[in-house]
Structure 1
């Protein structure tokens, strides 16, 4: 199989987390860049990356790259690429675009020129004057950065956070990719109890359960490459067989979730059922401060209310204070909280062991990490 230069795109701040995943999958020549990770993969590797990457946004193939200071250069260099190798006669090929610090700053013009150049090249390959675009979608993107152009082909289709299990959600759900990244940054292992006291639509506990049973996050969804004429169906089938062989559906875990809102509890139960965990995740309606555990160690992780609205601010700040007091009774538990509140540590009553800037949608947040105390060694 041919090898391709591939980009796994990432939300700002998660590039190293995505790179860690890519390395664990066995890929080589990995380069971490702003907003993405570059690596080499054949068709089987592209299928595996789409199936297994928990924290990446999309997987794209680099079709071509070149410098472009003028629209003529953009047109001619795009036209020079072997589009007949990538696109069949009936391909639907929308062109997205972005431009940063480049002379060609009009995104709509860049999109139109790339589209025209591809059409002109395809006319040389196929004896037609008009392309109906009634076939499978091959979504292209022209990205310009400091006058350097890259044209990529999106292999994923829908963004990778859409696993297929969250058929119902709350107003501002945590993306599955961000939830998986939080679990990775928390270094949570399936042999440790985990509790989410602000479960919302259940994203964190469901992602944790999938990790615990080594279930590929993309196993129950489709990808754009499945409809492509040149992409070998056997590569995807082989990747699916591998994913099924590696899953451990009998692996036990101690994952619990709760929310004060009974509607959120029902959402979590529904989505857990859709994800294949009808009764393995213990879900309960209760206040976060009613949390209790007989386990001497574990992980409490959550995405609580941020107090963005004025009428909620005092209530949320009191919640943060009380949570800090509560976790003093669990010194060997580690606590991980995602919030945009700038005074969280002061309210919680403790400085974080580590904190990391992450983006929850367009909102800048901090992921506060409070590591639990080491358990005393057993004599003998």
Structure 2
């Protein structure tokens, strides 16, 4: 089976997490860059990566990369690529674009030129002057960074954070891909108790449970490339069978989520049921001040409010002080907090063992990591 070049896109700061996920899937020919990981693999990778990648945003097929400082160079560079190998005669291929520090700053013009160049290429292949585009969808993107154009085809469709379990969400939900990354960055494993004391609609506990059960995050959704005629059904059948067979169904995982809002907890329970992890994720209505545990070792992972609105700032800062007092009792636990508040450590009363810069949507945040001692006899 021939090799393709793929791009797994990622939020800034999560590239190494995505690279680790790809290595775990057996893909080692990786190139890590800002907001993406490029790698080479066969067709089966389209199915496996869409099903298994937890922290990536999308999986793209890289069609080509070339210098383009004029519209003519963009046209000729696009036309030179083998689009006929990917696009059937009835393909619907909308073109989106983005440009950063490029001489070709008119994105609509770039999109139109790329579209025209692809049509001209397909005319030669299919001996047609007009394409109805009433078949399967192949979303194309032209990305211009400085003087370099990269042409890709999106295999995912809706972003990979769309797991299919979150029909309902709280007011400011954490993206599933970021929640999965927070768990993977932590030292949590399925043998330890995990608590999210500010769980909202349950994204962190649910993603942790899926990791603990080795459940492919895309197992309950479909992808735009499943309708592509040259991607054989047997590949999807094999990939989904592999995902089903990989689920750990007999583990003793215990994950707790709590919140003071009973309404969002009802949403969290509903989401956990849809995700298929309601057997190991438990939710309760509880203020942070009342958090307790008899377990000697465990992990706390949470995404508290940031207090970015002026009226909320005092209330959030008081929450951080209370978290510091309560979490002090968990002195043998590892604690992980995501927030955009720059004074968090001062309010919390402790300096983090490690701090990692990330992005929650467009908000620059820090992931504060307070490491506890490892449990005895831990492998």
Q: Normalized against structure 2, the TM-score is what?
A: 0.97
RMSD value, Cα: 1.4
Q: CA deviation at 1:280?
A: 2.4
Aligned to 1:67: 67
1:232 lines up with 2:232 in the alignment: yes
Aligned to 1:90: 90
Q: CA deviation at 1:377?
A: 8.3
Following the alignment from structure 2 to structure 1, what is the Cα–Cα distance between the partners of residues 377 and 108? 64
1:97–1:142 Cα contact (<8 Å) kept? yes
Aligned to 2:165: 165
Aligned to 2:42: 42
2:75–2:117 Cα contact (<8 Å) kept? yes
Aligned to 2:107: 107
2:187–2:334 Cα contact (<8 Å) kept? no
2:337–2:367 Cα contact (<8 Å) kept? yes
**Which sits farther off after the overlay, 304-313 or 330-339?**
304-313
Which blocks of at least 5 consecutive residues in structure 2 are unaligned? none
Q: CA deviation at 1:259?
A: 0.7
Q: How many residues align?
A: 378
Q: CA deviation at 1:41?
A: 1.1
Q: CA deviation at 1:193?
A: 0.3
Aligned to 2:244: 244
1:17–1:184 Cα contact (<8 Å) kept? yes
1:204 lines up with 2:201 in the alignment: no
Following the alignment from structure 1 to structure 2, what is the Cα–Cα distance between the partners of residues 307 and 299? 24
Residues 172-209 of structure 1, C-alpha deviations (whole Å, 9 max, x = no match): 21000000000011121010100001111110000011
Question: What is the DSSP-based 3-state SS (H/G/I as helix, E as strand, rest coil) of the residue aligned with 1:364?
Answer: strand
Aligned to 2:295: 295
Aligned to 2:28: 28
Following the alignment from structure 1 to structure 2, what is the Cα–Cα distance between the partners of residues 333 and 278? 24
Aligned to 2:325: 325
Following the alignment from structure 1 to structure 2, what is the Cα–Cα distance between the partners of residues 29 and 82? 23
Q: CA deviation at 1:125?
A: 2.1
Q: CA deviation at 1:374?
A: 4.6
Question: What is the DSSP-based 3-state SS (H/G/I as helix, E as strand, rest coil) of the residue aligned with 1:316?
Answer: helix
Q: CA deviation at 1:373?
A: 3.5
Residues 109-155 of structure 1, C-alpha deviations (whole Å, 9 max, x = no match): 11000001111111222243322211111001111122111111111
2:300–2:334 Cα contact (<8 Å) kept? yes
Q: CA deviation at 1:43?
A: 1.0
2:288–2:326 Cα contact (<8 Å) kept? no
Following the alignment from structure 1 to structure 2, what is the Cα–Cα distance between the partners of residues 375 and 114? 56
**Which sits farther off after the overlay, 124-133 or 11-20?**
124-133
Which blocks of at least 5 consecutive residues in structure 1 are unaligned? none
Aligned to 1:336: 336
2:210–2:277 Cα contact (<8 Å) kept? no
Following the alignment from structure 2 to structure 1, what is the Cα–Cα distance between the partners of residues 232 and 197? 44
Aligned to 1:145: 145
Aligned to 1:221: 221
Following the alignment from structure 2 to structure 1, what is the Cα–Cα distance between the partners of residues 311 and 143? 42
Residues 72-124 of structure 1, C-alpha deviations (whole Å, 9 max, x = no match): 11111211222211111211111111122222121111100000111111122
1:374–1:188 Cα change, 3 Å = closer
Q: CA deviation at 1:318?
A: 1.1
1:183 lines up with 2:175 in the alignment: no
Following the alignment from structure 1 to structure 2, what is the Cα–Cα distance between the partners of residues 3 and 288? 51
Q: CA deviation at 1:375?
A: 5.3
Q: CA deviation at 1:376?
A: 7.1
1:212–1:253 Cα contact (<8 Å) kept? yes
Question: What is the DSSP-based 3-state SS (H/G/I as helix, E as strand, rest coil) of the residue aligned with 1:161?
Answer: coil
